[in-house]
Amino acid sequence: MFGKIVAAFGLSKSLPEEEVTQVINMYDAMLVHSAWKKRLNAYLEGRSKEDLQPGNIRVDHQCVLGKWIHSDGKARFGHHPEYSKLVEEHAKFHQHAAQVVEAHQVGDTNLAQGILKGIFEEQSRRTVTCLTRLNAIVEGQNQNSTNQ
């Protein structure tokens, strides 16, 4: 698995330890995005001490995954249609997460729950699907280069 993660992000196995840690953190970023529903649920139920601000959530290049998408990811995969789709879906993910918080902050918890269980959940799946497809492309390229 570690080799796939390293390959997926275009890094060699001879990297310094801190750079390898960044690769593992990229994988963690996918898991963190998948866990946003729990974070938002806790926020809506008053169990969160986080100070969630829609303006901050909406910015899609602040999270670890977004930073990668808009830098190294773009440099390595910008020519792939799946990369373009990932950029689009990831931005929408952040938009919908911000909408959940906005609705809650104006007192419309029903709307917040509806967004969370509807379009946000769907958008989360779309974002993870894009990551999976991009990874499959990379794995296919690596397999082809190994077979040559």
pLDDT in tens, 63-119: 878 888 898 888 888 898 999 999 999 999 999 999 999 999 999 999 999 999 999
**What one-character-per-residue DSSP string does 60-98 give?**
TTSSHHHHHHTTHHHHHHTTSHHHHHHHHHHHHHHHHHH
Q: Between 63 and 122, where is the model more confident?
A: 122
CA distance 5 to 139: 9
CATH code, domain carrying 54: 1.20.120
From the list 64, 25, 29, 38, the residue with the least C-alpha distance to 121 is 38
From the list 72, 127, 69, the residue with the least C-alpha distance to 94 is 127
Q: Which domain holds residue 38?
A: 2-147
Domains: count for the chain: 1
